[in-house]
Amino acid sequence: MPQPPTMNEFVGSISQKIPATNAKWEIFALRRKVYAVEGKDLKVNREKNALKDFFAIRVIKNHRAGTSTCSQIEQIPEAFQKALNIAEITEPDECLSLPLPSQTQSVKVFDENLCSIATFLPDLLINMQRAAFYDKRVKKLRNAEITITVDEKAILNSEGLLCSQPFTSISAHMIAIAEDEDQQMGWAYTSERFLKNLQVENIGKEAASKAIRLLNSKKIKSFKGMVLFDPYVAGEFVELISQSLSGENYLLGRSIFSGKMGEKVINEKLDILDDGTIPERFGSTPFDAEGVPTSKKILIQKGRLSLIMHNTYTANRTKMISTGNAVRTERGITVGPTNLYIDTEEAKLPPDELIREIERGIYVIEVMGMHTANPVSGDFSVGISGIYIEKGEMKYPVRETVISGNLLQLFQNIVALGTDLHFYGNIGSPTLLVEGIDISG
């Protein structure tokens, strides 16, 4: 069961294990406590309670880097030596460096309430499932899960940098199955840093609603028309474009924006921003995975590429400064967003008004095969489920339908944004109305 973290004790224990060395060094430390409940069909089938530590050591000596990891504080000296040994045989790189200490701002990312509700989690799971049965056509529930995570993160380096912060999060997801002559599934998911921002009943209702709306789907003939992406689907396209805003991908030529700095790349009415300082957001953090302060950044402003996200290394390669976007993955330090979202200074419309703007099109509530989209060329062809719209009215659900095109052209053809900005994880988007989409039946 998660308990409030003791950061000073955690950091102090790490500091005592750092060996004497003339190399530059960095330690990223994570202590993660997880409590989760899983179930289906109004039952709780499994409870999980786990605690794990993770330490990533990086050393730089004679412009050569070595890295190592371990899972116990007592193993830090051994992992340190392993990193030093690796540094002896790697190629030198003049762009390697560690960030200097910088002042970070306070960001609301820790909720005390999440440290004390674990015993009530089974009841929340049942309530989430029960909410899905608001319609008799909902017959089954699958993969219902609620997870609470409490993280203690600390970063120390030989330049004098020391950052530490506790984080909390709660996530929930569920599948609902509806039946009425045919069978359809609906899936809903959300994640938040604060308990007050998550209503589990809404997850159940959303999963059920998606399944019900797709019942008795029809095939349609191919046409070119408007598409209305709901916030979750729109967020998947925003996430795809975010990969091209990574300094690492930009340098490696794996970005659709490579060589286009300052150029118009999407609709001139659109902005894409990254902001790690939004209170209580899932991607918010006062510092990145290297200890560099996060901030609000406009990456694309009025359609023009104005900034690429960087960590310390990619910033050195481009003679820029880190934007506070270092992230840790299993393969080491890379570049990624904090809270990345699409916005506009133009007037926004409620989703029901956006529907009335459509002469002929589809309201898309699910996309299949997004992983097949090419993040370099931007080309995509994905399956969709949704509702056929004609003369501003939703008519009937559609199946066996595909939309195809190019990512940059799609963002060029965005006509309007909804008023319903929603974050799924650290990617945010409102409902998006897009014209000129090839829709294949």
Structure confidence by residue, pLDDT tens digits, 6-19 = 677 878 888 888 88
pLDDT tens column, 374-413: 988 999 999 999 999 999 999 999 988 999 999 999 999 9
> Percentage of residues in the chain with pLDDT exceeding 90?
90
Q: Is the dihedral of CA 345, 346, 351, 352 positive or negative?
A: positive
* pLDDT (tens digit per residue) in 16-65: 888 889 999 999 999 999 999 999 989 999 999 999 999 999 999 999 99
Mean pLDDT estimate for the chain: 94
pLDDT in tens, 120-156: 999 999 999 999 999 999 999 999 999 999 999 999 9
Q: Which long-range contacts (CB under 8 A, 24 or more apart) does 399-402 make?
A: 399/214, 399/217, 399/218, 399/219, 400/219, 400/441, 401/219, 401/220, 401/362, 401/439, 401/440, 401/441, 402/439, 402/440
List 163's β-bridge partners, or say none: 155
pLDDT score of 85 more than 90: yes
pLDDT tens string 168-222: 999 999 999 999 989 999 999 999 999 999 999 999 999 999 999 999 999 999 9
Range 86-95, long-range pairs (CB < 8 A, 24+ positions): 87/23, 87/59, 87/60, 87/61, 87/62, 88/61, 88/64, 90/64, 90/65, 90/66, 91/64, 92/62, 92/63, 92/64, 93/63, 93/64, 93/65, 94/63, 95/313, 95/316, 95/317
Instruction: Give yes or no for residue 4 having a pLDDT over 90.
Output: no
- What confidence score (pLDDT) does residue 264 get? 97
- Where residue 3 falls among pLDDT bands split at 50, 70, 90? very low
- Residue whose structure tokens are 């899960």: 145
Determine the CATH number of domain 7-213: 3.30.2290.10
Residue identified by tokens 């051994």 is 78
pLDDT at 1 over 50: no
For residue range 275-299, list pLDDT tens digits in order: 999 999 999 999 999 999 999 999 9
Confidence (pTM): 0.94
178 within 8 A of 209, measured Cβ to Cβ: no
HSE value, Cβ hemisphere, 13 Å, CA-based, for 189: 14
Domain borders along the chain are: 7-213, 223-237+346-440, 247-344
Tell me what percent of the residues of the chain surpass a pLDDT of 70. Answer: 99
Angle subtended at Cα 263 by Cα 262 and Cα 265, rounded to the nearest 5 degrees = 125
Rounded CA-CA distance 385/371 in Å is 16
User: pLDDT at position 7, please?
Assistant: 72
Backbone angles phi, psi at 375, to 5 degrees: -70, -15
Length of the chain: 441
For residue range 319-334, list pLDDT tens digits in order: 999 999 999 987 889 9
Query: Distance between CA 269 and CA 109 in Å, rounded?
Result: 32
Over residues 339-352, the mean pLDDT reads: 96
